Amino acid sequence: MILRSITTENFRNLESAEHNFHPSANIVVGRNGQGKTNLLEAIYFLATTKSFRTTHIDSLVRFGAPSVFVGGHVEREGVTRNVTAGVEAGETKRRVLMINGERVGLSSYLNALTVFAYSAMRLETIRGAPEERRRFLDRGIASINPGYLEELTRYGRVLKQRNALLHAISIGDDKARSLDAWDEPFTFAANAVQTARGAYARELAASFSRIVAEHNYQVRGIEMVYHPSTGNLWDLRKHEVRARMSVIGPQRDNIDFVIDGRPAAEVLSGGELKTIVLFLKFAKLSLFRRRFDEPPLFVLDDIDAELDLDILQKLLSKLPDSTQVFASSAKESFLQALEAGPHRRLTIENGRVTTASNYP
């Protein structure tokens, strides 16, 4: 798949304009604070309707604007389609997703373009809250199984209704036996999510281990372990009523990254953590390639000196030739591996994107 161009309106500080891309490598350069990350974030938003920097969509909207919009021309399997994503600012956050001018649901939309992103913010996958690791798993599963989002949404609805009932019971507005009718749908919806997470976590852990071994990386013995939150609902009923919420289920799942039984975030340096996260991204890319006969887009934001650049260059050299890459850095020497082949150099200043060079 190839992203030929994007058009942005009111996306952070980016100038409202169309930006064209090279089908191979796109190198984004400029001084800090000029909008390099914003451009890559717009690409990620177009593909996922999310940001790789924040969970607050309002942050994407230029100050004072009512909404944000990103559109793009995506070439996939010889067919070019126009995909657009728009979100209103404020409390409503109404989302409009379209393919070739027709409104579509989220699952259909996400199947149009797949992007994997690496950035310093992705360190939260290892050292952040459990919620970050759950999102990490869910994004990976959705990239190879768009139908998983329906399972996740179904569980979210059941969880919300069950929690509302637990709250009503705790204040005397309903009876505890009312929960009986919710135990089966809750268990069924939770099992669907946790089964998918468990299977993906095992595949990803195996792929990750292979990549670490191939590069003979100095950090050995790191493990990724998925811990589903399960239990007997009947035994937990009194506790849940007191807590006014469901105390087990996918919303309580966790993933641990450990080295010899110790949390990786407490053992590894900042540079080592960044390289481990990079390995995880390439493990995700590997799983995607097994399912589909084409690579996704790959975004590398703000490559810096803490990252093991020798490993990065080796990883990039092994990407399929048809992989479209977008990479940014304030230090251009870190992007030399991409400049060796066909590429386009894009310069950003105050949110304005210009093509500095094109090869070939």
User: Using one digit for the tens of pLDDT, what is the confidence trace for 56-97?
Assistant: 888 899 988 999 999 999 998 889 999 999 998 877 778 999
CB 186 within 8 A of CB 220: no
| Closest-CA residue to 151 (of 201, 181, 195) | 195
User: Amino acid letter at 228?
Assistant: P
Q: In terms of DSSP H, where are the helices of the chain?
A: 36-48, 106-110, 124-127, 130-144, 148-170, 180-214, 233-243, 264-267, 270-291, 309-317, 336-339
- Residue whose tokens read 């490598």: 25
- Whether 10 and 311 have beta carbons less than 8 Å apart is answered as no
Question: Do the Cβ atoms of 164 and 126 come closer than 8 Å?
Answer: no
Phi, psi torsion values for 353, nearest 5 degrees: -100, 130
pLDDT tens, position by position, 324-356: 999 998 777 667 778 878 999 999 999 999 988
Tens digit of pLDDT for each residue in 19-46?
999 999 999 988 888 999 999 999 999 9
User: Are 355 and 72 in contact, with CB atoms under 8 Å apart?
Assistant: no
- 101 pLDDT band (50/70/90 cuts)? very high
Alpha-carbon distances of 12 from 65, 70, 209, 325, 346, rounded to whole Å: 10, 11, 38, 22, 18
Q: Please give the single-letter amino acid code of residue 253.
A: D
Residues 250-274: tens digit of each pLDDT: 999 999 999 988 999 999 998 899 8
In the chain the domains, ranked by start, together with CATH numbers, are 1-114+296-360 (3.40.50.300), 129-288 (1.20.1050.90)
